[in-house]
Amino acid sequence: MGEDDSGVHCRLDELLAERGMTVVRLSELVGVSVVNLSVLKNDRAKAIRYSTLVAICRALDCGIGDLLVLAPEPPAARQG
């Protein structure tokens, strides 16, 4: 799960790899800093603006559900 334990996993790294695109190129396309995209890519983001979400999805030609998915629950949480 992400470091903030939000229960949301961002698949940005996977989508970039599938498309052969770099974070730098995505940054140029969507107007979001490389640092902020890296935070998102590494599951450290606590929030994302809808406008950023839409811009990323359009640049990657994907749906929101392709980019953001529910992270699996850790085993300890399932037992409780």
Mean pLDDT for 36-53 is 95
8: part of which helix (H) or strand (E)?
Answer: strand 8-10
51 falls within a domain: yes
79 falls within a domain: no
Q: What is the CATH number of the domain that holds 54?
A: 1.10.260.40
pLDDT above 90 for 6:
no
Q: Is the dihedral of CA 57, 63, 64, 67 positive or negative?
A: negative
Q: Hey, is 10 helix, strand or coil? A: strand
78 falls within a domain: no
How would DSSP label each residue in 52-70? HHHHHHHHHT--HHHHEEE
56 falls within a domain: yes
What total number of domains does the chain contain?
1
29 falls within a domain: yes
CA distance 34 to 22: 10
Q: pLDDT tens, 17-29? A: 999 999 999 999 9
Residue ranges making up the domain that contains 58? 8-69
Over the chain, what is the mean pLDDT? 90
- Predicted local distance difference test score (pLDDT) of residue 1: 42
24 falls within a domain: yes
